[in-house]
Structure 1
C-alpha cells in the first residue's frame, strides 16, 4: 500500500482548521482522486523555511527579486517528489496516480485554466473583503504575517480593504453580477452536479475551493449561497463527499 502523501496547509482558528482557497483546491483534488494523504499544518511565517528544507520549488518572486514560497505543497514519499502550486499538484496527481477519478479529462487543461481565470474575474470585487475577513481567523503568528504582507501589497490597512457600508455593498453586488456569467456557463452542463455535468474534475476543486473559503469565513454565506437560484449552496453541498479534512 502506498504511503500517504504529506499535504501542507495553513491552520486557522476554525473548527476544521482548513480555510484557504488555494489549499482547498489541492484538498479537493486529493479527495477526488482518492489518494491517501495526511495534512501537516504550517503557519505563514514558517512556509519559506519548510519549502527550502524539503526542496519545494518557489511559486513566484518577491519585490526584491528573491524567490517566494506559498502553500499548497505536497511531499510524496512514494516517489520522492515535492510539488508546489495547486494546478501543478493536480497535474502530478493525475500523472502519478492514474486510477480513480481523472482531474483533467483529455483536452480540458486549457479550458479548466480559463475557467479559473473567469471565476476569479467574476468574484474579484469581493476578494478584498475575503482577505480582510481571513486575517481574523488566523493564529497569532500567521495573522501578523498576513496583515503585514497584505497591507504592503494593497497600500492600506486591512480594515480599509472593503469597509462596511456603501463600499462593501457595492463590492458584494458587483460580485453577484460577475458570478452571473459563471452561472450561465454551468447552466449549459446538462443539469449535472459538477462543472462538467456529472463528471467530477479539477474544475470542481477550483470552484469548490473558492466557494468553500467564502462559506467558512463569511457570515453572509447564506445570502451568497442563494444567488442564481441557489446554485452555489447546492453546488457546495454536492461537493461534500470530497471535502474531508484528513
Structure 2
C-alpha cells in the first residue's frame, strides 16, 4: 500500500520547514521505508484526508492514519520491528520524551523569536494572513514586536545548545554511535531554523554544528538538499 506523509511548506513546496515534520521524515528514512511527502501550506492542511487533521505531520500508511511526530515514531517502531530501531527499547523512548521537552521548551522558543518574520515571508498571501492572525493571537502582539532585537536573539541562541555539546564530548550522536529518534528531535529544530533563516547561527567548529552536519549527511544527504 502507498505510504504518504503530509508536511508543511510555504509558497515553495520544495522547502518543507516544520520541525515536527522533519522528525517524521527522518524516522521514515531511519526505518528504510518508501514514502511520498506531500508538503502543504497552512490553509490547505484541513482539506486533506477528509479533514482528518488541522496539524501536520500526518502519516497515511495503508489503512492507518497517524498524526504527531512522536506518535508516528512509535507507530513505525511497533509496525516495523524488523527495521532499524528508533528507540532501542523503553529507555530510548523515555530519553526521547526528555529531549522532546528540552527541544520544545528551549530550542523552539528561541527559534520562534528568531525566525517568526522569516516564516511569514515564506508564505503565500492567504497563508500570511492566517499566520499573522494565529500567531498574533498567540503572542498578544504584532509579529514585529515579538522579538524586536533579532540580532540579540541570534547571539543568545548558541548557549541554548550547551546540553547537547556536553553530551557530544562522549559520543557522536544522542543515540550513541548512531542516531535514534532522540537525535531527530533537535535536528528537526535546527533544520527548521536553517530552512527558514538560511543559517543555524552556529560557528563552523561548534560541536553542535558538527553534529547537525552529520545528521544532514544521513540517508544520502537528502535533508541537506532542502535549503
User: Matched residues in 1 for 2:4 and 2:180: separation?
Assistant: 22
1:160 aligns with 2:145: yes
Q: Describe the shift of the 1:41–1:168 C-alpha distance in structure 2 as closer, same or farther (beyond 3 A).
A: closer
3-state SS of 2:66 partner: strand
Instruction: For 1:175-190, list aligned pairs within 5 A.
Output: 175-189=157-171
Aligned partner of 2:60 in structure 1 is 75
1:128 aligns with 2:113: yes
Q: Describe the shift of the 1:236–1:15 C-alpha distance in structure 2 as closer, same or farther (beyond 3 A).
A: farther
Contact 1:54 1:82 in 2 (8 A): no
Instruction: For 1:72-151, list aligned pairs within 5 A.
Output: 72-77=57-62, 80-106=63-89, 107-123=91-107, 124-151=109-136
User: Matched residues in 1 for 2:129 and 2:116: separation?
Assistant: 13
TM-score normalised by the chain length of structure 2? 0.86
User: Matched residues in 1 for 2:214 and 2:2: separation?
Assistant: 26
Q: Describe the shift of the 1:16–1:48 C-alpha distance in structure 2 as closer, same or farther (beyond 3 A).
A: closer
Which sections of structure 1, spanning at least 5 residues, go unmatched? 57-68
| CA RMSD between the two structures | 2.3
User: Matched residues in 2 for 1:118 and 1:55: separation?
Assistant: 29
Residue 14 of structure 1 deviates from its aligned partner by: 4.8
Residue-by-residue CA offset, 1:129-163 (whole Å, 9 max, x unaligned) = 22222111123332221121111111111222222
Quick one: which of 10, 13, 37 aligns to 1:12?
10
Quick one: which of 175, 185, 195 aligns to 2:174?
195
Q: Describe the shift of the 1:110–1:135 C-alpha distance in structure 2 as closer, same or farther (beyond 3 A).
A: same
TM-score normalised by the chain length of structure 1? 0.80
User: Matched residues in 1 for 2:84 and 2:160: separation?
Assistant: 30
User: Matched residues in 1 for 2:13 and 2:65: separation?
Assistant: 28
Residue 220 of structure 1 deviates from its aligned partner by: 4.5
Aligned partner of 1:217 in structure 2 is 196
Contact 1:43 1:141 in 2 (8 A): no
3-state SS of 1:173 partner: helix
User: Matched residues in 2 for 1:161 and 1:129: separation?
Assistant: 9
User: Matched residues in 2 for 1:128 and 1:5: separation?
Assistant: 34
Q: Describe the shift of the 1:238–1:15 C-alpha distance in structure 2 as closer, same or farther (beyond 3 A).
A: farther
3-state SS of 1:133 partner: helix
Runs of 4+ with deviation above 6 angstroms: none
3-state SS of 2:206 partner: helix
3-state SS of 2:179 partner: coil
